[in-house]
Amino acid sequence: MAKAVALAYSGGLDTSVAIEWIKEATGAEVFAVAVDVGQQGESLEDVRQRALACGAKDAYIIDARDEFAKDYCFKGIKANGMYEGVYPLVSALSRPLIVKHLVKAAKQFGCDTLAHGCTGKGNDQVRFEVSIQSLAPELECLSPIRDLSMTRDKEIAFARKKNLPITIKEEKNPFSIDQNLFGRAIEAGFLEDIWNSPDHPDIYTYSADPDPSKPAEEVVVKFEKGVPVAVNGEELSPADLIAKMNALAGAHGIGRIDIVESRLVGLKTREVYEAPGAVALIAAHKELERVVLEREQMRFKVQVEARWADLVYDGRWYSPLKKSLDAFIDDTQKYVTGEIRLRLFAGTAVPVGRRTDSGLYDFNLATYEEGDQFDQLSSRGFIQIYGLQDKMAAARDIRLNGEL
């Protein structure tokens, strides 16, 4: 039986009720852990006060926005990390960091058990618990919504009975939302009918509707070794840089994604995301890589990126393979330094200019104008040798089959 529990606390209904719920079910003390990854809304102090008012023995509250931006989102950018080719891993990137702090808090408060408020149907329960197994295998894990059968109706009745100081809205939220500095994930409600278009005005807060009557805007993003460091010449902290790109790209409706997604637990679900900064930064980063990376290295990296995104999506942030892939990715980034000019217009972020001292693009070799240094005559011999394998095979086909 648990003696002391560290609970990942958001300040919302589920985790506020979970404090008393866990105390009653296990007899343990509960410590609330709130990690600011840029989800906005309430101040950390308000979150702390609510946790204490709802029965927490103490609270661990941390502003982890720059840590999240630098050590998690920027790794996502270096990896051009997009699950199923389109989802920039917004929620998936935050879970390993939250678990890192949860474990730290548990050690500080002397807890023997960790708890989270995920449902039993999603990826997040997997990400929490697999990360816990890597970082603190000695700690038990409790999932009150899943394991202690909490439901919204039961939660509300319990909150009223216990007089918990939380405002309960009569209507259910129209969607289930998870948001942080890197973007927002919106699901459930009317989106569950996958024929419905994602046009509801309440869905989006990081982006305006794409508007072709709004003039295009150009923005210059500077990268150093694969990570963005400045926007329009202004050097910014990691968190401020992502926030700035959210504002700039969001104003042009960039980064809205509507997909039917394959969850690790086997379900297909409909997810809507808005991640304006992430989508624009990855577009710029990919373009700089096109100039800098050698062809084979770039092609191989595309395969690594897909595997990396799968591992992160699947909760394997702390796995050996993910770490090895990070080492490969970091090696590819040593010359990814330079600037990309992006054109933001009506929902699109398109690279239109590139500038770097470490690229492989050589004007004198590429030019068709005066001063071309490429030895065109050598191409003749190259093509003869290069095509030899196909020539031999084709000759055999004709010899044995009479046709190609």
Question: Where on the chain is the footprint of ligand ARG (CB under 6 A)?
Answer: 91-92, 123, 176-178, 185, 187, 261, 271
Instruction: In angstroms, give the least distance from the CB of 3 to ligand ARG.
Output: 30
Catalytic residue (one of 48, 50, 95, 270): 95
Q: Minimal distance in Å, beta carbon 174 to ligand ARG?
A: 12
- Residue 66 to residue 242: CA distance in whole angstroms: 10
Which of these is catalytic: 10, 14, 36, 314? 14
Q: Which residue has the tokens 């693009």?
A: 361
Rounded to an integer, what distance in angstroms lies between the CA atom of residue 39 and that of residue 91?
A: 11
Q: Toward ligand ARG, which CB reaches closer, 71 or 187? A: 187
Active site residue 124: yes
Burial environment of residue 150 by CB neighbours within 10 A (0 to 12, 13 to 18, 19 or more): buried
Between 173 and 367, whose beta carbon lies closer to ligand ARG? 173
By beta-carbon proximity to ligand ARG, the closer residue of 16 and 123 is 123
What 3-state DSSP class applies to 309? helix
Q: How far is the CB of 272 from ligand ARG (least distance, A)?
A: 9
- How far is the C-alpha of 205 from the C-alpha of 139, rounded, in Å? 37
Residue 71 host element (H or E): none
> Which of 305, 353, 346, 316 shows the shortest CA–CA distance to 86?
305
Torsion angle of C-alpha atoms 150, 152, 156, 159, degrees rounded to 10? 40
- Is 390 catalytic? The answer is no
Residue 169 CA to residue 18 CA, distance in Å, equals: 18
Q: Which is nearer to ligand ARG, 123 or 332 (CB)?
A: 123
- Out of 10, 36, 124, 143, the active site residue is 124
Q: Give the active site residue among 176, 240, 319, 343.
A: 176
- Write down the least CB distance from residue 235 to ligand ARG, Å: 31
Specify whether the CB–CB gap between 48 and 21 falls below 8 A. Answer: no
The four Cα atoms 66, 72, 74, 77 give a dihedral, to 10 degrees, of: -150
43 catalytic per annotation: no
- Cα distance between the two ends of the chain: 73
Altogether, the residues listed in the chain come to a count of 404
User: Least distance from C-beta 186 to ligand ARG, angstroms?
Assistant: 6
Nearer to ligand ARG, 191 or 280 (CB): 191
Q: In one letter, which amino acid is 119?
A: T
Q: Residue 394 and residue 403: Cα distance in Å, rounded?
A: 9
Q: Tokens 């929902």 label which residue?
A: 347
Least separation in angstroms between residue 64's CB and ligand ARG is 18
In the residue annotation, 14 being an active-site residue is answered as: yes
**Strands of the sheet with 4-8, listed across from one edge:** 58-63, 29-36, 4-8, 113-115, 140-142
Least distance to ligand ARG from the beta carbon of 263, Å? 7
Helices (H), 71-201: 74-78, 90-109, 124-135, 144-147, 152-161
148/17 Cα distance (integer angstroms): 12
Amino acid sitting at position 247: A
Which one, 261 or 287, has the nearer CB to ligand ARG?
Answer: 261
CB of 79 to ligand ARG, least distance (A): 15
The set of catalytic residues is 14, 95, 124, 176
